[in-house]
Amino acid sequence: MLTSQELLNDPRVAQAKELLLAALRDHSQKITGVRPGREEHRTEYADALTRLANARGGAPYFPYISSGLGNGPWVELGDGSVKLDFIVGIGVHGLGHSHPAMLNATIDAGLEDTIMQGNLQHDAYSLAMCERLIGLAKKFEAPLDHCLLSTSGAMANENALKIAFHSRFPATRVICMDNCFAGRSMALAQLTDRPAYRMGLPKTLDVDFIPMFHPSDPDGTTRGAMEMLQKHLARHPGEYACIWLELVAGEGGYYPGTKEYFEGLCRVCHDNNVLVIFDEVQTFTRLSQPFAFQHFGLDAYADLVTLGKITQVCATLYGDQLKPKGPILSQTFTGATASIRAGLAVLDILEEKGCFGEKGWNMERHVYFAKKLQALAERNPGKLSGPYGEGMMIAFTPGDGSAETAKTMLQRLYDLGLMGFLAGSNPNRIRFLPPPGITTHEHIDIACEIIERALSESN
């Protein structure tokens, strides 16, 4: 037996774990619903928020500093208030707050020899995570053989871009959909269809855009995207390395495309030696299949796929024929030991809970939430439209969809105890990324009650 196994089998470890898990459970279960902040914490909390704004060079979007404890989708803040968290760090905390499986994974990680994993020295769980992601990706035979771990969605996307350019050298151009978001690096700022996010930054890449699918004109937008793609390919023959696709536009406003829309584009790209990259940093595990490309039946086109957020560690998946011929990829950190262990535990629970499948838990809760939002729209004409999105990515448009209306509504929801976030522009929407491992109908009911209360106070 390895000495490390002897440590794990030491009865003191099991005992300590049991004690910690019991203590967490006893205290976490006191957090059961929305509550306001407490007077005795008011001054200290306000001071902490001011110091946070100073330290980070600007106030955070929400006046949010967690107390460090929660219970499922409920999170306690430093002022003693409790919020219903339906945005979970923009899709990160897939089991909500203070989940015992996260503590368990973290204790195991804490007993490991190092806090961080990296490309020079890997532990067995880094291997397990890579194999797990490759296995999930190959469920329907997508040609994805390799997996590189990284610490952010942006880095996963940078790695994907590097592999694509390297493989299609000397091509230098990228095709993206209108309204897409790829991350905050210098290269990804060019892919992201938000001029404000490139303000004052030099141009690093040549990117051309095609219209995204729009449900108001399915045929027109599908045809329009194809025509624009053909035009770009004809104008810059041999210059495109890849097309970059978000299968549900996330930051862009929760617009899912369709199989027909994507398949046509992917086919033309492959015919023109242009690689297809699916950015699944936000969609991963939120639709009817672990990967959105599986949900839309696009496995054959998945040349490169990136994911992150809910996995606690990010990754780039790619096929063997794209294996770089030089040392263009590496990082000191692939992920924190605890992140990798926790990510594996999240995947276990999502699978155990039956999140996937056409009638799986993700889609079932989407239907439930969507019906409730639909009913709210009918009861509150002009104040809410929607729902939009797919699976455990769901949004609505408040009122006239102006930036002002959406911000006011988001703030109101926060004050009433529900956390969501903005998405899109013209219209501006409010989106939710409920934690897929633990969200129940009851939580959705409470979210909708809060939305209705906020609507009743709006003009």
Residues 66-95, one symbol each (x = binds ligand PLP by CB under 6 A, - = not), give ------------------------x-----
Q: Which stretch binds ligand PLP (CB under 6 A): 244-252, 326-334, 341-349, 447-455?
A: 244-252
Q: Which stretch binds ligand PLP (CB under 6 A): 148-156, 257-265, 294-302, 364-372?
A: 148-156
Residues 6 or more apart from 379 whose CB is under 8 A from it?
452
Instruction: Identify which of 88, 117, 124, 186 has the alpha carbon closest to the alpha carbon of residue 392.
Output: 88
129 binds ligand PLP (CB under 6 A): no
Least separation in angstroms between CB 318 and ligand PLP: 16
Q: Which is nearer to ligand PLP, 76 or 280 (by Cβ)?
A: 280
Residues 6 or more apart from 205 whose CB is under 8 A from it?
172, 173, 174, 187, 190, 191
Angstrom distance (rounded) from CA 229 to CA 245: 13
157 binds ligand PLP (CB under 6 A): yes
Residues 160-189, one symbol each (x = binds ligand PLP by CB under 6 A, - = not), give ---------------------xxx------
DSSP 133-195: HHHHHTTTT-S--EEEEESSHHHHHHHHHHHHHHHTTT--EEEEETT----SSHHHHHHSS-G
281 binds ligand PLP (CB under 6 A): yes
The residue within the footprint of ligand PLP, chosen from 94, 211, 257, 308 (CB under 6 A), is: 308
Least separation in angstroms between CB 183 and ligand PLP: 4
The residue within the footprint of ligand PLP, chosen from 112, 193, 208, 246 (CB under 6 A), is: 246
154 binds ligand PLP (CB under 6 A): yes
Angstrom distance (rounded) from CA 444 to CA 38: 26
Q: State both tokens at 331.
A: 């990082």
Write the Ramachandran bin of 197: left for phi over 0, alpha for psi from -120 to 50, otherwise beta.
alpha
Q: Which stretch binds ligand PLP (CB under 6 A): 147-155, 352-360, 369-377, 400-408?
A: 147-155
389 binds ligand PLP (CB under 6 A): no
116 binds ligand PLP (CB under 6 A): no
152 binds ligand PLP (CB under 6 A): yes
251 binds ligand PLP (CB under 6 A): yes
Q: State both tokens at 369.
A: 């939430």
Query: Is 70 strand, coil or helix?
Result: strand
Angstrom distance (rounded) from CA 336 to CA 54: 27
Q: State both tokens at 310.
A: 């809910």
Which residues make up the interface to ligand PLP (CB under 6 A)? 90, 152-154, 157, 181-183, 246, 250-251, 279, 281-282, 308
